[in-house]
Amino acid sequence: MIARGAGPFVFAPLLGMLPLAALALILEDPRWSYPSIPLGIAFLFSLVFFRDPYREKGPGIVSPADGRILAADPDRGKLVVFMGIFNVHVNRAPLDGRVASVVHTAGGHAPAYSEDAGANERVETVLETQFGLVRMTQVAGVFARRIVPYVRRGDAVRKGQRIGMIRFGSRVELILPRGVRLSVRVGDKVRAGESTIAEVLDGPRP
């Protein structure tokens, strides 16, 4: 399955290949097909990069992104997941809840793994859950020039549901409510919607 919002990136190289292949056949000259080789490589890369596989929901609070844990602060309940170029870039809800807000903030495009990424372009989605507010921030990286939200204010979401995508290398920051215990450490690899990143210690809050 191809990620929602990625169609132009995936199919543009394929559409560019078609007239070249047609000319090679019509003119019976294979040299017309040579320029289609880099387009074919771009198509295959985009097809892999923008994949959106099915995931089984994991227990507890699940990771919002594929990648590697870049920071884990148990005192603040904050996690940062860095998504490398070979990770799936579709992000998922860590818990059931309702979207309280979706806010886009313009900014720079520093490397997503650097400290300067705190000033990058971002989209913050706040979820109202039975355990309190969950703040999930999708942060653009060097090559990521657009964050594509799939939800808006007032939407009900389920744990593991797709809620957005960041095009190309990037990171996701998560701030969890009090009363949860992180179950991952810096360097751990996680999968969106599937890997448990935290456990709830307290019951639901009113």
Whether residue 55 lies inside any domain: the answer is no
* Confidence check: pLDDT of 127 > 90: yes
> What is the band of 115 on the pLDDT scale with cuts at 50, 70, 90?
low
Supply 23's token pair. Answer: 């000319």
Q: Do residue 40 and residue 65 come from a single domain?
A: no
Query: Can you list the alpha helix ranges (DSSP code H) found in the chain?
Result: 7-26, 36-49
pLDDT at 148: 86
Q: What is the mean pLDDT of residues 122-143?
A: 89
- pLDDT-derived band at 205, boundaries 50, 70, 90: very low
Q: Whole-angstrom Cα distance, residue 154 to residue 64?
A: 19
β-pair type (189-190, 170-175): unpaired
Which of 43-52, 77-86, 89-98 is predicted least confidently? 43-52
Catalytic residue among 36, 46, 63, 170: 170
Joined together, the tokens standing for residue 149 give: 């939200």
Least confident residue range of 25-39, 87-101, 167-181, 184-198: 25-39
**129 - beta bridge partners?**
132
Length of the chain equals 206
Q: What pLDDT shows up at residue 84?
A: 84
Are both 98 and 166 inside the same structural domain?
Answer: yes
Three-state SS letters, 131-156: CEEEEEEEEECCCCCCEEECCCCCCE
Domain containing 38 equals 7-49
In a domain, 133, yes or no: yes
Active site residue 170: yes
Cβ–Cβ < 8 Å for 33, 154 = no
> Residue 159 is inside which H or E element, if any?
none
34 plus 89 within the same structural domain: no
Looking at residue 9, its pLDDT comes to 60
- Residue 59 near residue 196, CB atoms below 8 Å: yes
Q: Which 3 state secondary structure label does DSSP give 33?
A: helix
Number of domains in the chain: 2
Examine residue 2 and state whether it is found in any structural domain, yes or no: no
* Residue 114 pLDDT class (50, 70, 90 cuts): low
Stronger pLDDT, 187 or 13, i.e. the higher one: 187
Tell me whether residue 129 is in a domain: yes
Q: Say if residue 34 is in the same domain as residue 105.
A: no
Mean pLDDT of the chain: 82
